[in-house]
């Protein structure tokens, strides 16, 4: 089974104040908010081509429980 690719640019602020920007595959969802509020989604977000202090162009895996806010860019 292949997953649908639907990449969107995002900025995610973590509870510790770190901001991560990059690409997030929101799959079957049309909006970032629908993806983040989904009850059947994975507990981790995988941000591709991520940039954050000290890191550029990496893959960052984020625990949803540590997100303060997220916004499409």
For the question of whether the overall pTM of this predicted structure is more than 0.85, the answer is yes
Which DSSP letter does residue 73 get?
-
- Whose CA is closest to 14, among 57, 54, 52? 52
For residue 66, report the phi and psi dihedrals to the nearest 5 degrees: -105, 10
Q: List per-block mean pLDDT (blocks of 10 residues) for the chain, which spans 73 residues.
A: 81 97 94 91 93 92 96 94
pLDDT at res. 2: 53
Token pair, residue 33, equals 């908010």
pLDDT at res. 1: 45
């Amino acid at each position: 089974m292949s997953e649908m690719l639907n990449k969107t640019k995002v900025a995610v602020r973590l509870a510790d104040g770190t901001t991560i920007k990059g690409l997030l595959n929101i799959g079957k969802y049309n909006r970032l908010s629908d993806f983040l509020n989904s009850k059947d989604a994975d507990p981790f977000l995988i941000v591709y081509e991520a940039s954050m202090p000290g890191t550029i162009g990496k893959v960052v895996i984020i625990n949803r429980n540590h997100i303060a806010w997220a916004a499409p860019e």
